[in-house]
Amino acid sequence: MQRREFLLGMLIATVLIPLKALAAIWNKAAFESAQLDEASRQLAIDGEIPSDDIVIKAPMRAENGAVVQVEITSHIPNTEAVAIFVEKNPTPLIANYMFSHAVLPHIVTRIKMAETSDIKVVVKSGQRYFVQSARVEVLEGGCG
């Protein structure tokens, strides 16, 4: 009986420990913020530096804001994180990706955009934050 309890305990620990680690990374306040400045503050973003080393490929015009494909590449050395914001969305923080130093920071994703707005990308490298944006005109509403 003790062996079964031990194995069950190990199984539960194996499942729950990664969930606790994921919860520690999740910044609920940043993702629920209704204002871009507040979402940035919740991610501790301070003093953004404009950079052409962040490449954003997005359509100039999106037929439907419900599905806008965005491709982001950071050529900034030691990129640790990439955050994607859309200011005119109900919750501006779209995603916050974390990278190890051995990975090329390249993202291809589909996002929702409520209306025409800039897609703002913030890259963290060390204690510095770099920024680049791209304007997307939304012809038909996406999220509300």
Q: How many CB atoms lie within 10 A of CB 128?
A: 14
Q: Which H/E stretch holds residue 46?
A: none
Average pLDDT over the chain, rounded to an integer: 84
Burial (Cβ within 10 Å: 0-12, 13-18, ≥19) of residue 117: buried
* pLDDT tens profile 25-68: 667 889 889 999 999 999 999 899 999 999 999 999 998 888 99
- pLDDT for the residue numbered 114: 87
Residue listed under structure tokens 């993202």: 107
In this predicted structure, the answer to whether residue 144 has a pLDDT above a threshold of 60 is no
The architecture of the domain spanning 2-138 is: Sandwich (2.60)
The domain ranges of the chain are 2-138
Instruction: Identify the band that residue 99 occupies on the pLDDT scale cut at 50, 70 and 90.
Output: confident
Contact call for residues 112 and 143 (beta carbons, < 8 A): yes
- pLDDT for the residue numbered 4: 63
Instruction: Identify the band that residue 80 occupies on the pLDDT scale cut at 50, 70 and 90.
Output: very high
